Amino acid sequence: MKVTHDFIMKTGFEAVTTRKIAALANVNIAMVNYYFGSKDKLLNETIKAILNSYKGCFAILDQTELPAKERLKRFLTDYAKTFQRYPDLLRQIVKHSSFPFESQFEFAHFVKTMGFPKILTVLQEITQEADSNKLIMTGMQIFGALLFPILMEPLISGIYHCPLPDIEQQVEEIMSKMSL
């Protein structure tokens, strides 16, 4: 899995083959198939490990001893930095607009049932907004503003030659524009 993870980091998901992973891991292809069953199952387990790092970002939202704005700021920074480490995963999800791997479906379920409600609770604490539809829209706008530059970074830097500010600056800018 470590070899697969490192290979994904360098080349993206599309380039992964069982043969390449076996060669890089210095093992027989049959061994990869024996332990994982298929390339898709190997990718699923690797993606699961990556997505678990995203789940960890949500824990900051539970630290109620911190002011709500600070929790949101830390969460957004950690979450964006994690996506920044794995931009191809974000691009793959957007490209397929579905979840080809079980681990992606599990993560989407986690975000829907546990993660996003935590975000809405913190936003409600900050804004005192009672309308859940407005809170959901605010949350979606924040994520759009935060993840779009990561998704579009190759286009932005390659064509427009516009360097993106670091994640901390982007989070500060988003929060100030949204009066959070």
Q: SS3 for 88-145, per residue?
A: HHHHHHHHHCCCCCHHHHHHHHHHHHHHHHHHHHHHHHHHCCCCHHHHHHHHHHHHHH
pLDDT of amino acid 23: 92
**Structural domain includes residue 20:** no
**Structural domain includes residue 16:** no
Report the candidate in 177, 161, 159 with the shortest Cα–Cα distance to residue 169: 177
* Region 27-43 average pLDDT: 88
pLDDT of amino acid 125: 96
**Structural domain includes residue 8:** no
**Structural domain includes residue 61:** yes
* Region 82-111 average pLDDT: 74
**Structural domain includes residue 93:** yes
* Region 51-72 average pLDDT: 92
**Structural domain includes residue 87:** yes
What is the CB neighbour count within 10 angstroms for residue 23? 13
Lowest model confidence (mean pLDDT) among 66-70, 113-117, 158-162, 173-177: 158-162
Count of domains forming the chain: 1
Give the torsion sign (CA, 126, 127, 131, 137).
negative
pLDDT of amino acid 45: 87
pLDDT of amino acid 119: 96
- Integer CA distances (angstroms), 45 to 23, 50, 83, in order: 19, 9, 18
Name, of 1-10, 56-65, 89-98, 154-163, the range with top average pLDDT.
56-65
Quote the domain boundaries for residue 167. Answer: 51-177
Residues 109-143: b if buried by 16+ CB within 10 A, e if exposed: ebbeeebbebbbbbbbebbeeeeeeebeebbeebb
